[in-house]
């Protein structure tokens, strides 16, 4: 217990210096159109380049950052850096795509969240339609508080995406009540869709439902050719996963843009399912 507490204090201290000394970096994972293989967007995923420990993944520091409120400056840094990146890509002539950032529950209780985001968009001169916010169902429990915030973000023109769909409890309720543009089918369903009939039915049903509701759908964690073909056959528009690319630093990602199109040509079935 004592050990755990002192570890937390130490980590908190190190997180503070990490911000000051620029030890965070955003990696980007492409979101691919499963019809054409074109990259439609990217998801920004934070990495910590620790001086002694090397790369630390978000699972090992985001929870502490949330407990200590350091997630607020870190979260703001993420949004600003992601917007600067999309600007840099636009200026380099890369066709415009949507940048998705993950939001933490704590950020929804920051009184000036919407204003901060608006300011970042203005400073970086990014059209709000190029920004997407990913939230999980567990963050939406407090409907009275969260709904107005999402409505404001939506009004600005920012897209709202429901992450890890299916993993939580009351998904359908959130779909009905919140202004959601996209859902991301949780990796655990995608990875079993070719192995387990029940799972396959769930994935098919989620995809069919999104078409009926006019919501975009994206499958997370596609790792195999079989999963890709299953999703294409069931008209899933978008996918993300190691089959196409793991999250990469921006300079490496631009180099593989064209290769991803080849993955669809090589592994997938030729079919126009993009919208
Ligand atoms: P997430 O938003 O659901 O992100 C997807 C995670 O799945 C990423 O892990 C990604 O690297 C991983 N992934 C993608 N494709 C595959 C695949 O084909 N197979 C497998 N096994 N994994 C795949 P990562 O980067 O470690 O991030 C984990 C979680 O940490 C994220 O889950 C998100 O909840 C959180 N996170 C990441 N960056 C941020 C951030 O900037 N702010 C906040 N608040 N949370 C973040
Ligand atoms: Mg996400
Ligand atoms: Mg996810
Ligand atoms: Mg997750």
State the DSSP string of 66-93: HHHTTHHHHHHHHHHHHHHHHHHHHHTT
253 and 261 Cβ atoms separated by less than 8 Å: no
pTM of the model: 0.95
Atom 19 of ligand 1: nearest residue by CA position: 221
> Around ion ligand 2, which residues have CB less than 5 A away?
102, 134, 163
Given this model, what pLDDT does residue 148 score?
A: 97
Whether ligand 1 lies within 6 angstroms of the CB of 66 is answered as no
Given this model, what pLDDT does residue 270 score?
A: 64
Whether ligand 1 lies within 6 angstroms of the CB of 221 is answered as yes
Whether ligand 1 lies within 6 angstroms of the CB of 99 is answered as no
CA angle 19, 31, 113 (to 5 degrees): 40
Given this model, what pLDDT does residue 275 score?
A: 44
Atom 9 of ligand 1: nearest residue by CA position: 45
In Å, what is the CA distance from 63 to each residue of 66, 67, 129, 267? 5, 6, 29, 37
Whether ligand 1 lies within 6 angstroms of the CB of 78 is answered as yes
pLDDT string in tens for the chain (275-residue length): 568 888 888 999 999 999 999 999 999 999 999 998 889 999 999 999 999 999 999 999 999 999 999 999 999 999 999 999 999 999 988 878 899 999 999 999 999 999 999 999 999 999 999 999 999 998 998 999 999 999 999 999 999 999 999 987 767 888 888 999 999 999 999 999 999 999 999 999 999 999 999 999 999 999 999 999 999 999 999 999 999 999 999 999 988 877 877 887 888 876 555 44
Question: Rounded CA gap, 68 and 62, in Å?
Answer: 10
In Å, what is the CA distance from 47 to each residue of 69, 87, 247, 249? 18, 21, 10, 10
Whether ligand 1 lies within 6 angstroms of the CB of 172 is answered as no
Q: How far apart are the first and last CA of the chain?
A: 53
* Backbone Cα Rg of the chain: 19
Given this model, what pLDDT does residue 252 score?
A: 93
Q: Which among 58, 63, 131, 253 is the best mutation to test ligand 1's pocket, defined by most ligand atoms within 8 Å of the CB?
A: 58
Given this model, what pLDDT does residue 122 score?
A: 98
């Amino acid at each position: 217990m004592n050990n755990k507490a002192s570890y937390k204090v130490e980590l908190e201290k190190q997180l503070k210096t990490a911000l000051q000394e620029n030890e965070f970096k955003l990696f980007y994972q492409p979101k691919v159109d499963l019809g054409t293989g074109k990259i439609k967007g990217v998801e920004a995923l934070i990495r910590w380049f620790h001086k002694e420990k090397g790369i630390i993944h978000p699972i090992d520091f985001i929870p502490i950052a949330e407990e200590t409120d350091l997630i607020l400056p870190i979260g703001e840094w993420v949004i600003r850096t992601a917007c600067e990146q999309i600007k840099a890509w636009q200026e380099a002539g890369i066709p415009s795509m949507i940048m998705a950032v993950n939001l933490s529950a704590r950020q929804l209780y920051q009184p000036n969240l919407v204003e901060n985001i608006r300011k970042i968009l203005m400073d970086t001169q990014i059209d709000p339609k190029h920004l997407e916010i990913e939230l999980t169902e567990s963050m939406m429990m407090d409907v009275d508080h969260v709904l107005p915030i999402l409505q404001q973000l939506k009004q600005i023109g920012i897209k709202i995406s429901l992450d890890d769909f299916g993993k939580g409890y009351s998904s359908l309720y959130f779909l009905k009540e919140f202004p959601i543009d996209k859902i991301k089918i949780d990796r655990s369903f995608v990875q079993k869709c070719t192995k387990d009939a029940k799972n396959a039915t769930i994935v098919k049903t989620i995809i069919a439902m999104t078409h009926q509701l006019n919501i975009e759908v994206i499958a997370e964690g596609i790792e195999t050719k079989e999963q890709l073909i299953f999703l294409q056959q069931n008209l899933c528009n978008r996918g993300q996963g190691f089959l196409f690319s793991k999250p990469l630093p921006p300079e490496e990602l631009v180099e593989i843009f064209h290769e991803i199109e080849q993955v669809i040509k090589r592994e997938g079935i030729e079919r126009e399912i993009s919208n």
